[in-house]
Amino acid sequence: MNNYLLFTIPFFLLWLTSRIAYQYSMTMFAMIKLKALDQSLNQLYYSFEQVVYFYNQTTRVKAIKQMNRKDIHLRYDYHPFIFTELTGIYIELRHEQTLTLAYLPIDQFMLPYLDQKMQENALDYQSSKRISIAKLFHPDTKKKLIDEVYNQMTVGRYS
C-alpha cells in the first residue's frame, strides 16, 4: 500500500470523529455550566418560534399533504470539515423525494433562561450558544421539533 495514503489516516480520523466529539463536548459543557447555575438541560424551556417554514398547511404539494410523521427527519447543518460547528437544523420530508420543510438557524433558537442569565452577566454569549446547541442535541428536543413541524404543516398556524 502506498504510504501517501497511510499517513493521512490520523487526519481523516480527526475529521470523521469531529462531529461526535463536538456533540459530546457541547453536552458536557452545557451540563457543567448549568450545574454551576443550579439548572439542568432537561429543565430549560425553549421555543421553536424562529423556525422558518418553506411550505404551509395550504400547500398543494402532494407529498406534503399526504406526509406521515415518521417521514420527517432532522438534518444538522454544520460548519464543514474539522472546525465543526452547528449552524442550524434542516427539517426534511424524506419519502419518495427529499423536501426541506423548514429550517431553524441556531442563532435564533431561543431559550429565555439563557438570555436572562446573559442580561445578569452570569453567562457570556458563547456559553449561551453552546448550551442552546446542547439543548438541540437533546433527544426530547429533536422529537418536539419534529412534532412542531408536523403539526404546523398539517394543522396550520391559524387554524
> Which residues of the shown chain bind other proteins in the complex (CB under 8 A)?
3-4, 6-7, 9-11, 13-14, 17-18, 21-22, 24-26, 28-29, 45-50, 52-54, 56, 80-85, 87, 103, 105, 110-113, 115-116, 119, 126, 148, 157-159
- Which amino acid does the sequence have at 13? L
Q: What are phi and psi of 157, to 5 degrees?
A: -80, -30
The least CB distance from residue 159 to other proteins, in Å, is: 7
Residue 72 or 84: which CB sits closer to other proteins? Answer: 84
Residue 6 or 66: which CB sits closer to other proteins? Answer: 6
The least CB distance from residue 24 to other proteins, in Å, is: 8
Contact 72, 92 (CB under 8 A): yes
The least CB distance from residue 68 to other proteins, in Å, is: 22
Residues 16 and 48: their CA atoms lie apart, in Å, by 30
The least CB distance from residue 25 to other proteins, in Å, is: 3
Using alpha carbons only, give the angle 112, 114, 118 rounded to the nearest 5 degrees. 115
Residue 6 or 96: which CB sits closer to other proteins? Answer: 6
Residues 20 and 59: their CA atoms lie apart, in Å, by 36
Contact 47, 110 (CB under 8 A): yes
